[in-house]
Amino acid sequence: MPTYEYRGLVLHLPELDQEHWGYFEAARRHQLVVKRCLDCNLLRWEPGPSCPFCASLRWEWAPVSGKGEIYSYQIVYHSVHPGFRDWVPYPIVLVELDEQRGIPTPGYGLRIAANLVDAQFRPEREERVAIGARVQVVFMDLPNGLTLPQFALSGEPPRGRVWRHAG
């Protein structure tokens, strides 16, 4: 049973946990994957064992572009876990991927939470975090062999409204 340590957190990835094993295996190859239903063909996040749209149990891993925009965000000032104290204030972003936006229902999206990081995988500066900003997935290879998908600003022009808190 592979076990990884990251910032004092103990991460267990049992081989029976196909939902997350496959996801992190793809991340190690620097590929972002979600699950695709083999019956209705819809993508889903989180990668659960059943399709939330048609309840099919048949699925495959589907690579996605890793491009999208920030749908919501938070800047953590008080770190609950001691392992993140050297990171505060750090952003956590909810990224809406470009794939399958508004399908199968208006407003549905593949939304993934991660940190927004700079080119050195440090927390992105607060004043650069905004809803609507374009991002792309980047892969943070940890020395222990685990790879964490993260997001970084892509520099693309925003497609819609950009909003950040005035404070």
Partner 1 sequence: MPHPLRDRYCIVGVGETEYSQHSGRSTRAMAVEAVKKAMDDAGLTPKDVDGLLSYHMGDSTPSTAVASDLGIRPNFFMDVSGGGSSTEALIGLAMGAIEVGMCHTVAIYRSMNGYSQVRIGGTGVRAAAPLSGSALLTRPYGLISPLQQFAFAFTRHMMEYGTTNEQLAMVKVVHSRHASANPKAFKKNPVSVEDVLNSRWIVKPVAHLLDCCLETDNATCIIVTSAERARTLRQRPIYIMAVQGRGTRPFPDNPWAEAPITRIGGTYIAPRIFELAGVGPEDVDITGCYDAFTFTVVLQFEAYGFCKVGEGGHYVSSGIIALGGKRPNNTSGGHLCEGYTHGMNMVIENVRQLRGQADDYCPGWREGRHTYHYGPGGCRQVKDPEIAMNMGWGTPGYGSALILRR
Task: Find the binding residues for partner 1 in span 135-154 (CB under 8 A).
Answer: 148, 150
Instruction: In whole angstroms, give the CA distance from residue 108 to residue 147.
Output: 28
Task: Find the binding residues for partner 1 in span 95-124 (CB under 8 A).
Answer: 105-115
**78 near partner 1, rule: CB under 8 A:** yes
Instruction: In whole angstroms, give the CA distance from residue 19 to residue 25.
Output: 11
| Number of residues engaging partner 1 in binding (CB under 8 A) | 53
Based on CB atoms, which residue is closest to partner 1, 114 or 137? 114
> In Å, what is the CA distance from 35 to each residue of 22, 49, 57, 160?
10, 9, 11, 27
Residues contacting residue 24 through CB under 8 Å, at least 6 positions apart: 13, 146, 147
- Closest distance of CB 111 from partner 1, Å: 5
* Only segment of 29-37, 61-69, 81-89, 152-160 that touches partner 1 (CB under 8 A): 81-89
Residue whose entry in the numeric block shows the structure tokens 């925003």: 158
How big is the chain by its Cα radius of gyration, in Å?
A: 17
Main-chain phi, psi angles of 31, to 5 degrees: -130, 130
Q: Which residues bind partner 1 (CB under 8 A)?
A: 3, 6-7, 9-14, 17, 19-20, 23-24, 45-46, 52, 71-82, 84, 87, 89-90, 92, 94, 105-115, 126, 131, 148, 150, 163, 165, 167
